[in-house]
Amino acid sequence: MAFLHDLVKDCIQFEQAFCTAKCPFNLDVRDFIGKIQQGRFNVAYKTYQYTVGFPGIVSALCHQPCREVCPMADNGGAISVRKLEAASISYARTREPDQYNMPTKPQRIAIVGGGISGLACALRLSTKKYNVTLFEKSDRIGGHLHGLMDSETLLEDIALQFKNEDYNLQLNTEIQDIATLPFDAVYVATGKDGNRFGLSLTDEGPYSTDRNGVFMGGSLTGANTMEAIAQGLNVSSAIEGYLKTGQMNHTEPLLHQTQLTYDAIRMIPAPAVAPANGVSFTREEALAEAKRCLRCTCDACVYYSPLMNHFQKFPRKITEDVEISINPSSLDGEATVATRLIAMCNHCGLCKEVCPKDIDVGEFLLQSHHTMREKGKMPWAFHEFYLRDMEFANSSAGLTRMPNGHDTCGYLFFPGCQMGASDPRMVMESYRFLLKTHPDTALMLGCCGAPADWAGNEPIHSEVIDRIRSDWKRLGEPTAILACTMCKQMFQRYLPEIKTEFIYTLLEQDGYTPKGNSNVAASIFDPCAARHEEQLQTHVRSIAQRAGYSLEPLPMERRLAECCSYGGQIGVAHPPYTRQIVERRIGQSENPYIAYCTNCRDIFAKAGKETVHILDIVFGLERRPQPTVSERQHNRLILKKQVLKEFWNEDMDMEKEKIKLSVSPGLKEKLDRDLILETDLMTVISHCESTGSKLFDPEKGTFTGHLQVGNMTFWVEYRATGNNEFELVNSYSHRMKIED
């Protein structure tokens, strides 16, 4: 389609490979060798034959400029493209040229010079059924090539390629004045030091001269042998364009440059294959040598980015699909080609990190998510749970307090919403440490707003950011001490006026002695949001080593850190994809992981990977079971109650549940997987009991009912076990609204 987002204007996905750019013919080596890799020698030969015109001659004489730029040169040896070209000739089913059944064209074209450039032009034009006459002053065709290779082999290849074509060959005919030639177009290729007939090249177009309808090229203009052949083939397009339009500029010169960079290529060293006979490849040797070829292309984003790898889509295709979704051309205007793709981005930044042009597809998808949400085209169900969870963290579990006994503060501890949800002890121990080293440290419990940003919900996100800014100013604009790298990203982007520090840096600078101690090997799993936090990465590793851990690197760490799957909160949009990401992350090493992101720690632990948080090590916290989504909300309330009591000597009355609900371990696991809160189910059961809106199953002795909470409809199957006591038998939720 015509649309091409500015984001991808610099994308080099389609840039030529280094060898193709260096090749006089611009042979698509990626395509040619790709066919040999598949054992398709015949189609590889056809590609080669059409590109170079005279495959037997070129494969024998090419000076192989491709070897000069091959990235494999220092990784086992440059690819032997010329030997592979010869192999395609040897192992093709047939070397016969294709025969084109086209009507002859009336235009007459003269070619002055029967050397290889003139012959190449004659071949291409006669194939298109033009009336071609070739004038050669000597008694044979081939020019200077007779001095470079066996004449019989030379003439044999020329004869083979012209087998199905008719052209008028005039030997022993020297042209003295091209003005006397009664032809519609002329190509002058009289060879090195040949007759130029007073012609000069112009900049009107490749091979164009200062005489209308006359073109010039080959060795006469300084080209080497391979360039002369390539120019002869290419000038045929210029001549054809002139015959159709009368203009001399109807062809593009062959491209001999590329924006592709060596940094974009993943090197896989492999020793060069040497022919057993010392001359040419056997079929098996050709296959082995072809498989060494990297087929150089810039595909780092698709290789590294889990999203683009999953869909096998490059930035250009993604922007096109997103454009169709945002501005659909369907009759009903409801096309949603890329809705799920947009919602599946982790916004980890890895695609930009590996892109030599710094193309940030994640940022593009984030802005697209915002646009789709504004247009009402993004399914609310993808983020309903997370937005409600954020609201809970900022309201019922939220808290902002000046340090006890202080009217002003220099620091503000902002642990984020997930640390206290995972284990309140991490926040409690961290704040105790901070009050000892920085007594004027305030505390703010709440969420940084990332869920609203990822959901594209600008009004809710702005409300969260404005609240944080307002509370920060009320506290005297202190330095924020963070425990979450995603919070740092949010602050950096939306609250740049707030100076930040990481608690891990303060622990390292203080020389805090970790209470946990271990002598085992482990690997640090860097969160994707810490990609550019080099000092933080170093400090976390130092703390782990001081605790006795022997650290072994992961394949993807530091600036190449990968998302644990939590970023973008994509779990609802595509659960299987989310599980796939987790499995790949925990499969990088058999070592236990040390994380400094609560989400990384909890997700991996839930998947069965031995993972500890660095603060577990620092404060000597024993291993804990992975909390469910319901337990996470309860943990936040426990944390709020504990900090109020210990640091401000205030009691907090936790709201007592109206009913007591018993849930089996297996069902708890299901509810956790489906992001269903037990408190919501209590609300449904209370509604069913108070209104009588329930159905009774006498065989099972259970009641069934439903209620819409927020935008989601929840169904429960339960039985009464006592006074306001119930056992949950089953539950599920869906997006449909039940009309009474």
- Mean pLDDT lowest for which of 4-8, 174-178, 233-237, 538-542? 4-8
Residues 349 and 486: their CA atoms lie apart, in Å, by: 12
Q: Which pLDDT band holds residue 5 (cuts at 50, 70, 90)?
A: low
**CA–centroid distance for 265 within its chain:** 14
Give residue-wise pLDDT tens across range 659-708. 999 999 999 999 999 999 999 999 999 999 999 999 999 999 999 999 99
Q: Which pLDDT band holds residue 332 (cuts at 50, 70, 90)?
A: very low
Q: Which pLDDT band holds residue 331 (cuts at 50, 70, 90)?
A: very low
Residue 47 has pLDDT above 50, yes or no: yes
Q: Which pLDDT band holds residue 125 (cuts at 50, 70, 90)?
A: very high
Q: Which pLDDT band holds residue 377 (cuts at 50, 70, 90)?
A: confident
pTM of the predicted model, to two decimals?
0.84
Q: State the pLDDT at residue 4.
A: 44
Specify the 3-state DSSP secondary structure of 661. strand
Average pLDDT, the chain: 93
Residues 349 and 739: their CA atoms lie apart, in Å, by: 43
Average pLDDT over residues 716-730: 95
Q: How many CB atoms lie within 10 A of CB 448?
A: 27
Average pLDDT over residues 95-118: 94
Domain ranges for the chain? 18-95+275-292, 108-245, 300-377, 382-509+626-640, 513-619, 660-734
The DSSP result for 606-640, as a single string, is HTT--EEEHHHHHHTPPP-PPPPHHHHHHHHHHHH
The percent of residues in the chain predicted with pLDDT above 70, rounded, is 98
Average pLDDT over residues 24-36: 96
Q: State the pLDDT at residue 662.
A: 95
Q: Which long-range contacts (CB under 8 A, 24 or more apart) does 494-498 make?
A: 494/449, 494/453, 494/461, 494/465, 495/465, 495/468, 495/469, 497/469, 498/469, 498/472
- Mean pLDDT lowest for which of 15-19, 307-311, 622-626, 630-634? 622-626
- 8 A C-beta contact, residue 123 and residue 152: no
CATH class of 108-245: alpha beta
Residue 204 has pLDDT above 90, yes or no: no
Q: How many CB atoms lie within 10 A of CB 275?
A: 15
Residue 354 has pLDDT above 50, yes or no: yes
Residues 705 and 717: their CA atoms lie apart, in Å, by: 7
Largest Cα–Cα separation, the chain: 116
- Mean pLDDT lowest for which of 110-114, 333-337, 450-454, 601-605? 333-337
Nearest in space to 647 (alpha carbons), one of 458, 465, 401, 424: 401
Q: State the pLDDT at residue 738.
A: 75
Nearest in space to 256 (alpha carbons), one of 11, 14, 9, 17: 17
